[in-house]
Homo-oligomer: A and B are copies of this chain.
């Protein structure tokens, strides 16, 4: 398989996908068109507005991006395409729309066959076993929390360390993930902003400037360094 799962689409103070532009160019090398999946609707953007944002970025790479919402038969569009990008936003909305259109398994089989896939944030959650470790608000009710499972893990994008100065009593990210592990067995990858997962052939590695926090059932969480093979 050939995919890249990013923690975030944008770094603080940066431009859209800028920090990972070279990686994306390499991921989609040789392609002149991909499909953009806008269903997560970042910040409530319409499918059209969100697709225009992705198109602007990919135009700089000489790649045209077509929004999946434009197709009457989205499953056929996925089967015909050579590469995919799922943008961030609300994971509940993304997963609900994918299931309702019957696309989760279709996209999975295409990625399994070797076609290139880029996910950012919610789009990275889609690659995990389930969406049960998203940070997003459950603004809509999906028919299932199951995702593609092209990695045997769950992701927590935008992973954030506890802030000892914050006088707030809401649960930390770590507490929430530990609660997940009281109910589930799937290992969780806490992916800090700026980091990504990269699968090339048989090799799945964690990449980027920070260490990555791993949460396994019945073990204290631990850190792995960039380049570690999972």
Contact = CB atoms under 8 A, between A and B. Distances in A.
Interface of A: 8-13, 41, 43-44, 89-90, 92-93, 131-141, 144-145, 158, 160, 167-171, 175-180, 182-184, 193
Contacts of A178: 43-44
Given A158-B168, A169-B193, A145 B137 contact: no
21 contacts: A8-B170, A12-B168, A41-B182, A43-B171, A44-B178, A44-B179, A90-B179, A132-B138, A132-B140, A134-B138, A135-B170, A135-B171, A138-B138, A138-B145, A139-B183, A139-B184, A140-B183, A141-B144, A141-B145, A169-B193, A170-B193
B158 A10 contact: no
A12 B132 contact: no
The quantity of this chain's copies bound in the complex is 2
Given A132-B138, A183-B139, A193 B168 contact: yes
Nearest to A138: B132
A137 B134 contact: yes
Contacts of A135: 137, 170-171
Contacts of A177: 137
A137 B141 contact: no
Nearest to A10: B169
A145 to B, nearest CB: 5
B170 A160 contact: yes
A168 B176 CA distance: 18
Contacts of A136: 171, 176
Nearest to A13: B167
A93 B171 CA distance: 15
A92 to B, nearest CB: 8
Nearest to A139: B180
A167 B167 CA distance: 18
Residue among A90, A134, A169, A182 with max Cβ neighbours from chain B (10 Å): A169
Nearest to A167: B12
A90 B8 CA distance: 25
A176 B141 contact: no
Nearest to A173: B137
